Amino acid sequence: MSEVAKGPLRWWFATPLWKRILVALVLGAIVGYAWGEGASSLKLVGDVFVRLIRMLVAPLVFVIIASGVAQLGDPKRLGGIGVKTIGMYFLTSFLAVCVGLVLATLMGPGIGADLHGVAPQPVGTPKSPGELFIGIVPLNPIKALADGDTLAIIFFAVLVGAGVIVAGEDGQPTARLLKSASEVMLRVVGFVMETAPFGVFALIAVVMGHNGPATFVHVAQLALCVVLGSAIQTLLVHGAVVRFLAWLPVAPFFKGIMDAMLVGFSTASSSASLPVAIRVSEDNLGISPSVSSTVLPLGATIGMDGTAMYVAMLTIFAAQVFGVHLTLTDYALVAVTTTIVAMGVAPVPSGSLFILAAVLASIGVGPERTAIIVGFILPFDRVLDMIRTVPNVTADLAVATAVGRWEGEIDVERYKASKG
């Protein structure tokens, strides 16, 4: 290979991935705007990238959780980490709901909104808490892996890891196999992430080409609520978790997780960003695999800060549109209901719309009116989903940082030296 050929390649791989993704995002928006509907021909590239990412999720979740649990060596320690993790996710989700309620109430995006002529869209029936709970136990673990049922995969992986611990010396061959498999999967993640700039370029170009600049200005007040809420939750709430609960400086945290934030933004999927979140947590933040492998997969399933905030905003939006007067009791009911149901939403694009019916029902908005709200927001939901996925991702990594710090499972020097 000539020196001329080596130059661009050397520059490409020497440039931090997040910078390459950011440039690709900007170029994709420009190309999509200039090309218009023709940018739809790039959809294949974006779809392949998303499929590559999602291909990794189920096997990666299984091997890293099972390996992480096996490395803990003490079932009591697993229980301690689990309680802290779930408690932190509940807290950050509740704060996100409060941010959403306050912003939507103050800014009033639904006041005066005209929904006449909006085509109602069918709304899925939300699962009851009982159905969500029993679904954690898989009838067939192999089928759960094939279906990508994250909660069921986590449950089975924890059992396998606990079994390795209890088996003692006889379980060590399996422990070594799981550890080796997790290392291999993380290397595969590295390979796939090198395609991220091309995938992000295509995804953004298609969105911009299909909807044009109107994508970013339509439903402007609601979009502004989402942007402001996401910024507050990401920078202030999650920054405070890192600074005051993990006792660490904030700047290295955001530098270190930039790759995961950009992948979450471009794919609008918490589960799709999980592989890169695991990589940056260990490589950039210095969090040990025993913590990252238990906290992050759980967070990709229940750590839905952006979703919780957005559903709270849509609830206030619907109340303003339909003239529903909300009392303080109603606000409290919405806050608690949203926090709980958001922890069961599927970590996929527009997953929040599937739980909206359950929250709106708590303030007396029936399925027919809910279908109108969904029909109104659906054309623009992709872009709003991209924005609110960012706090989903940062919540997972902030909680992992705090738990890692509490457990003494974070390399503070590596964390402080993080440059992304």
Residue 216 has what pLDDT? Answer: 52
Please name each of the domains of the chain with its CATH number.
15-416 (1.10.3860.10)
Burial 133-163 (b: 16+ CB within 10 A, else e): eebeebeebeebbeebbbbbbbbbbbebbbe
Higher pLDDT, 208 or 91: 91
User: Residue 192 pLDDT > 70, yes or no?
Assistant: yes
Mean pLDDT of 92-97: 95
Report which residue type is found at 202.
A
> What's the average model confidence in pLDDT over 312-316?
92
Percent of the chain surpassing pLDDT 90: 28
Residue of 287 and 135 predicted with greater confidence:
287
Asked if residue 244 lies in contact with residue 402, where contact means CB atoms within 8 angstroms, the answer is: no
Instruction: Give pLDDT tens digits for 209-265.
Output: 876 665 455 467 888 999 999 999 999 999 999 999 999 999 999 999 998 999 888
3-class DSSP string for the chain: CCHHHHHHHHHHHHCCHHHHHHHHHHHHHHHHHHHHHHHHHHHHHHHHHHHHHHHHHHHHHHHHHHHHHHHHCCHHHHHHHHHHHHHHHHHHHHHHHHHHHHHHHHHCCCCCCCCCCCCCCCCCCCCCHHHHHHCCCCCCHHHHHHHCCHHHHHHHHHHHHHHHHHHHHHHHHHHHHHHHHHHHHHHHHHHHHCCHHHHHHHHHHHHHHHHCCHHHHCCHHHHHHHHHHHHHHHHHHHHHHHHHHCCCCCHHHHHHCHHHHHHHHHHCCCCCCHHHHHHHHHHCCCECHHHHHHHHHHHHHHCCHHHHHHHHHHHHHHHHHHCCCCCHHHHHHHHHHHHHHHCCCCCCCCHHHHCHHHHHHCCCCCHHHHHHHHHHHHHHHHHHHHHHHHHHHHHHHHHHHHHHHHCCCECHHHHHCCCC
Q: State yes or no: pLDDT of 318 exceeds 80.
A: yes
Q: What percent of the chain has pLDDT over 70?
A: 85
How confident is the model at residue 321, as a pLDDT?
Answer: 85
pLDDT at 57 over 60: yes
Model confidence at 119: pLDDT above 90: no
Average pLDDT value over all residues in the chain: 82
Instruction: Provide the pLDDT confidence category of residue 177 given band limits of 50, 70 and 90.
Output: very high
Band of pLDDT at residue 4, cut at 50, 70 and 90: very low
Which of the residue ranges 63-72, 150-159, 268-277 would you say has the lowest mean pLDDT? 63-72
Q: What is the pTM of this model?
A: 0.72
pLDDT in tens, 369-412: 777 777 777 667 777 888 889 999 999 999 999 999 999 999 99
